[in-house]
Structure 1
Amino acid sequence: MIDIARLAGVSPMTVSRAFKDDGRVSDTARAAVMQAADQLGYVFDSTASALRSQRSDFVAVTIPSINNANFADTVRGLSDGLRARGLQILLGYTDYDVQAEETLIAQLLRRRPEAMVVTGGTHTDRARALLDKAAIPVVEIWDLPARPIGHVVGFSNAAAMGMLVDHLVGQGRRRIAFIGGDAARDTRGTDRRRGFVAAMRRHGLDATRLIDAGAPPISMAEGAAAMAELLARLPDTDAVVCVSDLSAFGALSECQRRGVAVPDRVAIAGFGDYEIAAICVPPLTTVNPFPGRIGAQAAALILQALDGTLPDPALIGITPQLMTRASTGS
């Protein structure tokens, strides 16, 4: 900073204030400081600044997968909402493993984030204790946990899956199957399976047509393999609900390879309203959980909590939307 001050013709204190956007620094002096910093290749040491200010200016976020378009949209909504306040995101992914989430939460909290956002409402006891004692705003997203740790922005995955079953039953389908993943790892997928079973029983239908496609996240290839297994084991199935749009697209592709007409012979529905759902042939019926809105609402809660205008834990429910398309006949 002394080198920059000498090159810019200002004091070291002016350099420090310029990097912190201090209003006492004129535009001319700030421009000279930034030009000198660029010339010398200097990068401001935010760690040292955080030690003095007790602020890190970042929000820690955990997501189960980094290649899931829905979670990417959620992170984008979070980032956009926090950016105006100068807050950045430090992102970690858990690979659908609550033990990995526990380790990640501990590591992230060591960096003193301003707030923490965790995906889902199921955690280890230690992870819950860490978050509960962190003394920062905590937001659980993509779920409606029975025992919230702090704030919540989410929806009922079970109820959303029930919408799909109700739609298929309304279309005259009765022998409906569910394609999902390892229930021990994907808690949201487990809730969707539970919602499928509950809705089928509510309609007085057989709820045992359950195909396990493997460890989450379920890929297109795994969805195709699960559909092949379903057609071999239960060839009279007239509709399939998949845990995600990717697995549904795989199931659709397998039907097309085998000459199984969709939706005439079997209807197929997914979950997530990914881009592929609207452009595949036929387009997939699915559920839009509004992932970007989840991120934006979580960001709004964090800013209110940091401002002290959100004294009590808040719960914001997101209402998913059923997107009916040609893969189910409408």
Structure 2
Amino acid sequence: MDRDGAAEQSGTAGAAEPRTRRNRPTGGGVTMEAVGRLAGVSQVTVSRALNDPSKVSAETLRRIEEAIATTGYVPNAVAGALASSRSRLVTALVPSITNVVYSSLVKSFIEGMRAQGYQILLSETGFDPVEEEALIAAHLSRRPDAILLTGIHHTAKARHQLLGAGIPVVEVWDITDTPIDMCVGFSHSEAGRRVADFAVESGYSVAATVTAADERARRRARAFTEQFEARAGRTVTTVELPGPASLAEGRRALATLIESGDFTTGAVFCSSDLLAHGALIELHVRGIAVPGQVAVIGFGDQDFAPYTEPALTTVSVDRTELGRRAASALIARLAGEPRKDAVINLGYQIVRRGSA
């Protein structure tokens, strides 16, 4: 024992050795004691360095920081809680709590988790990976039993912390062959390609995309552009927005396309139904026939999509089922059941209506 005194009781005292990823369904993860062993100091010294770095030497602090970086350890904000105990708390991080695309998903996820006695701690990332990284650290410090993330692209530090946390993780709204733990969603690139096929096969030889500031939306737009250009032999005009989707941005984007002179007829693929609705309004105001002169295709199949004029052609994803499947996947892992499928592909559907 070093000069810093007797060992104190901490939130991770007495925890088991760090688990491998294969054997981490119900918690445990990297402990403060493990960080201390790697740094060559006591658990008390690690705690002191985290709470008041001025109380340890610069060299000791350096070794502790290196050990934390190596292990992905996240300090425990729940003083006195045992690492092996269940908090009955599950974290969910979504880009937007007001966007119905995510709120409907979260609603069904919450219902599924609450039915099994879990409560949800929800935060909004704002489509910002750096903000998501900070929220992941903050939420993990509360020692949740599991975590839901939106998307599959996270910072290296966030992934490291999640792998070190030793809890079930489900990534939703996207799929990958290499999830952190599990993922439930669909392929955005494939969806973009199929929309391009739909546009070409519907007789459109000119196309444009309008895309909000969202990595998944940009991926759909890139895939659409590559597929359309390969099949139609025409360059796709693109408008990338600096912020989130809205009716106003949809109107402005269509005005930009038309006034630029690069796009006067053809199909417009919008990254969300909100943008597509704004596009329909702008086209109506300008007296441009839809779909006779310009066709509009959205994404998300929001509740208003069948009731626009004309009704909006869009890509539909069963968000309610997605939330249910994410909850079921976590519940099974928390119950210690062997993981059957790490990747659950729910697919999507192109819904043809009057706008294209």
Fold-level match, TM-score > 0.5? yes
Mapped contact 2:177–2:343 kept (Cα < 8 A): no
Q: How far apart, in 2, do the equivalents of 1:155 and 1:253 lie?
A: 30
Q: How far apart, in 1, do the equivalents of 2:128 and 2:345 lie?
A: 25
Where structure 1 has 5 or more consecutive residues not aligned to the other structure, the ranges are 1-46
Query: What is the aligned counterpart of 2:246 among 219, 223, 240?
Result: 219
User: What's the secondary structure of 2:299's corresponding residue?
Assistant: coil
Q: Which residue of structure 1 lines up, in the alignment, with residue 143 of structure 2? A: 112
| Residue 256 (1) aligns with residue 287 (2) | no
Deviation string for 1:118-141 (max 9, x for gaps)? 000101010000111111000111
Where structure 2 has 5 or more consecutive residues not aligned to the other structure, the ranges are 1-77
Q: Which residue of structure 2 lines up, in the alignment, with residue 72 of structure 1? A: 103
> Aligned pairs, how many?
278
- AA matched with 2:207: I
Q: Which residue of structure 2 lines up, in the alignment, with residue 272 of structure 1? A: 300
- Between 161-170 and 223-232, report the one with greater CA deviation: 161-170
Deviation string for 1:42-88 (max 9, x for gaps)? xxxxx899669822112101001111101011101111111211112
Q: How far apart, in 1, do the equivalents of 2:245 and 2:96 lie?
A: 11
Q: Which residue of structure 1 lines up, in the alignment, with residue 207 of structure 2? A: 176
Using the TM superposition, give the Cα deviation of residue 163 of structure 1 relative to its aligned residue in structure 2, in angstroms.
2.1
Q: How far apart, in 2, do the equivalents of 1:264 and 1:313 lie?
A: 45
Using the TM superposition, give the Cα deviation of residue 174 of structure 1 relative to its aligned residue in structure 2, in angstroms.
0.8
RMSD of aligned alpha carbons: 1.8
Mapped contact 2:297–2:313 kept (Cα < 8 A): yes
Q: Which residue of structure 2 lines up, in the alignment, with residue 202 of structure 1? A: 230
Q: Which residue of structure 2 lines up, in the alignment, with residue 230 of structure 1? A: 257
Mapped contact 1:150–1:313 kept (Cα < 8 A): no
Deviation string for 1:118-169 (max 9, x for gaps)? 0001010100001111110001111113531110101111111222221221
Mapped contact 1:243–1:271 kept (Cα < 8 A): yes
TM-score (norm 1): 0.80
- AA matched with 1:147: T
More helix, by proportion: 1
User: What's the secondary structure of 2:252's corresponding residue?
Assistant: helix
Q: Which residue of structure 1 lines up, in the alignment, with residue 122 of structure 2? A: 91
Q: How far apart, in 2, do the equivalents of 1:281 and 1:236 lie?
A: 20
- AA matched with 1:59: V
Q: Which residue of structure 2 lines up, in the alignment, with residue 247 of structure 1? A: 275
Mapped contact 2:310–2:354 kept (Cα < 8 A): yes
* Closer, same or farther: CA 229–280 of 1 in aligned 2, 3 Å: same
Q: Which residue of structure 1 lines up, in the alignment, with residue 327 of structure 2? A: 299
- AA matched with 1:115: A
User: What's the secondary structure of 1:301's corresponding residue?
Assistant: helix
| Residue 57 (1) aligns with residue 85 (2) | no
* Closer, same or farther: CA 208–168 of 1 in aligned 2, 3 Å: closer
| Residue 161 (1) aligns with residue 185 (2) | no
